[in-house]
Amino acid sequence: DLDHWPKPARQWRPGLTFLPLRGFFQRAFIMNLQLENKTALITGSTKGIGFAIARALAGEGAKVILNGRTAGSVDEAVQKIDNGARGIVADLSGAAGCAAVLEQAGQIDILINNAGIFEPKPFAEIPDADWDRFYQVNVMAAIRLTRGFFPPMLQRNWGRVIFMSSESGIQVPEEMIHYGMTKAAEIALVNGLARLTRGTAVTVNAVLPGPTASEGVTDFVGALAATAKQSPAEFEKEFFRSMRPTSLLQRFASVDEVAHTVTYLCSPLASATNGAAVRVDGGVIRTT
């Protein structure tokens, strides 16, 4: 009985006040993620999944801090989000870039370790330099930032740290074992760090997207499709049939599909999900 639902905690947006269907909208959007007074830093967020997360968090009223490697891309992303967003230009592949972010961000409530790189390469041809680069960007940057931002969250007794890992951290793809290794390392970090939150309102979780149509992946798929003389749609169908046969979705997830789950996990409502590897993988991972 909808009339007996509890009233929403927040007054509904004034824009809807005059709609005849106001009561319906109030009930339909009754879940308030309570992110209005939170500040969130999302690394690697000028495009792709990171940008979608920033946009979703800002849409819920959070103050977002974007990060990218060039002033141009950061400015553009900040303008697209508006809503009080700000940006930090820093390359996270080394200690100096991470230190710059720690210095410029100030106090944050939510850290999304999203920046990441991927590239298929046969195992025997991956040089030391690539192993090192993948480790620096995908793992070490997240460690450096978490080392700075996580202890104050514990002291203030509220915070969210999310590592954007991947289903590749569990089902390591044979065509990019170095990438899978870094994504597995992120899951291990979450497992350990969550132990440190015992008795606090801080949570540390990993999110495991499956194949997702971010700009990075779309460009990459477009290039592969052109080489195979296929349209991107034909390539996608074939990719899921032959390379990701366990996918139940049988298509790329959208960046928003991933961002919505991340946004929920950032909310105070997600307080009992901690130390988890939350899948948004379209069912690619076969175990339940």
Residues that bind ligand NAD (CB under 6 A): 44, 46-50, 68-69, 91-93, 114-118, 137, 164, 166, 209, 211-212, 214-217
Closest distance to ligand NAD from the beta carbon of 267 (Å) = 20
- Taking the complex as a whole, the smallest distance from the CB of residue 143 to ligand NAD amounts, in Å, to 14
Quick one: tokens of 25?
């909208």
Q: Which is nearer to ligand NAD, 30 or 285 (CB)?
A: 285
Q: Name the nearest CA neighbour of 159 among 258, 268, 19.
A: 268
Q: Toward ligand NAD, which CB reaches closer, 38 or 178?
A: 178
Which H or E element spans position 258? helix 255-266
Which of 34, 218 has the CB closer to ligand NAD? 218
Q: Which of 44, 37, 40 is nearest to 61 (CA)?
A: 37
- Rounded least distance, CB 32 to ligand NAD, Å: 27
CA 219 to chain centre: 19
Is 185 buried (19+), middle (13-18) or exposed (0-12) by CB count in 10 A? buried
Q: How far apart are CA 41 and CA 160, in angstroms?
A: 10
- Residue 240's contacts (CB-CB under 8 Å, 6 or more residues apart) are 211, 247, 250, 251
192-220 burial code (b ≥16 CB/10 A, e <16): ebbeebeeeebbbbbbbbbbbbbebbeee
Terminal Cα-to-Cα distance of the chain (whole angstroms): 33
The distance of closest approach from Cβ of residue 3 to ligand NAD in the complex, given in angstroms and rounded to an integer, is 42
- Nearer to ligand NAD by C-beta: 48 or 159? 48
From the CB of 284, what's the least distance to ligand NAD, in Å?
10
Instruction: Give catalytic status of residue 179 as yes or no.
Output: yes
Do the strands 110-113 and 86-89 form a parallel or antiparallel pair, or are they unpaired?
A: unpaired
Minimum CB distance to ligand NAD smaller for 108 or for 137: 137
Query: Catalytic: which of 179, 235, 240, 252?
Result: 179
Residues noted as catalytic? 179
